[in-house]
Amino acid sequence: MVLRLRAQLREYFPAAVAAFEDLDAPDALELLGKAPDPARAARLTRAQVSAVLKRAGRRKITERAAAILAALRSPQLDQPPALTAAYAATVRSLVAVITTLNEQVASLQGQVEAHFGQHPDAEIYRSQPGLGAITGARVLGEFGDDPHRYATAKNRKNYAGTSPITRASGKKKIVQARFVRNDRLIDALMLQAFGALRVSPGARAFYDASAPGGASTTRPCGNWPAAWSASCTDASRPAPATTRPSPGARENIPQSDPAA
């Protein structure tokens, strides 16, 4: 829906795409509902935009309001009035649908948060950096809670698709990525990995060591969360403190002082 909304705006109102970073954010949806075309957007006042930003819980309201108004009022090529009106009606309907979806997602999120903590393995998943109630519930749901389903931690990594496939014949050795995997699980683990980079010094250190020279890569992020999750869930114990690297990480990775 959001991609469809973006595509519609690009056809007749590209300034709106530049004005809002997240088209599914509450402030963007409210302003697009009030002013779905360039003419009405140009008539928005600073007080109106500031009030919307305040209701959405934004910070630096004055600066944001000024930037949004400047973007919405920037020069652009106009479509004929009939096309603009048609596009505006479509955008308004998409805004209403996305707003309703956001409300239902928030309701479901509340249900997940209320019930995930009652699972006996919730403590194990929540102890891992980057796993909150929602992502943890997704990982638990995809891995399953049968303690005998996976013989070893490596089996969990294979199921997640993060362990490589090594083929050797004579002196030739090939290491390939594992593409046959649970896509929903790897998606949740990637969210965990990038979330952990912000809260865990150990995860940050492991990622930096796995991407020499500061190269941007998702491969380290795909490997360590599955290894950590596999080790902890296989042992049926919570993860260690988030200041430490993942299980099996390199020994020369610096660790933060727990007392710091």
Is there a single domain that holds both residue 55 and residue 32? yes
Asked whether residue 243 is domain-assigned, the answer is no
Is there a single domain that holds both residue 54 and residue 151? no
Convert the pLDDT of each residue in 101-129 to its tens digit: 999 998 988 888 888 888 888 888 888 88
Domain boundary among 113, 141, 156: 113
Asked whether residue 196 is domain-assigned, the answer is yes
Which bin fits 66, alpha (ψ -120 to 50), beta or left (φ > 0)? alpha
- Using 50, 70 and 90 to split pLDDT, how confident is the model at 69? very high
Is there a single domain that holds both residue 137 and residue 85? no
Is there a single domain that holds both residue 21 and residue 100? yes
HSE of 136 in the Cβ direction (CA atoms, 13 Å)? 25
Asked whether residue 98 is domain-assigned, the answer is yes
Asked whether residue 14 is domain-assigned, the answer is yes
Is there a single domain that holds both residue 58 and residue 145? no
Is there a single domain that holds both residue 129 and residue 54? no
Is there a single domain that holds both residue 52 and residue 13? yes
Is there a single domain that holds both residue 142 and residue 226? yes
State the residue range of the domain holding 99. Answer: 2-113
Is there a single domain that holds both residue 63 and residue 18? yes
Is there a single domain that holds both residue 102 and residue 127? no
Q: Alpha-carbon distance 180 to 173, whole Å?
A: 20
Convert the pLDDT of each residue in 70-113 to its tens digit: 999 999 888 999 999 999 999 999 999 999 999 999 898 888 88
Is there a single domain that holds both residue 108 and residue 6? yes
Is there a single domain that holds both residue 48 and residue 103? yes
Number of domains into which the chain is organized: 2
Q: What is the pLDDT of residue 155?
A: 87
Asked whether residue 249 is domain-assigned, the answer is no
Convert the pLDDT of each residue in 2-51 to its tens digit: 999 999 999 999 999 999 989 999 999 999 999 999 999 999 999 999 99
Which carries the bigger pLDDT value, residue 17 or residue 228?
17
Asked whether residue 25 is domain-assigned, the answer is yes
Asked whether residue 183 is domain-assigned, the answer is yes
Asked whether residue 251 is domain-assigned, the answer is no
Q: Alpha-carbon distance 57 to 27, whole Å?
A: 9
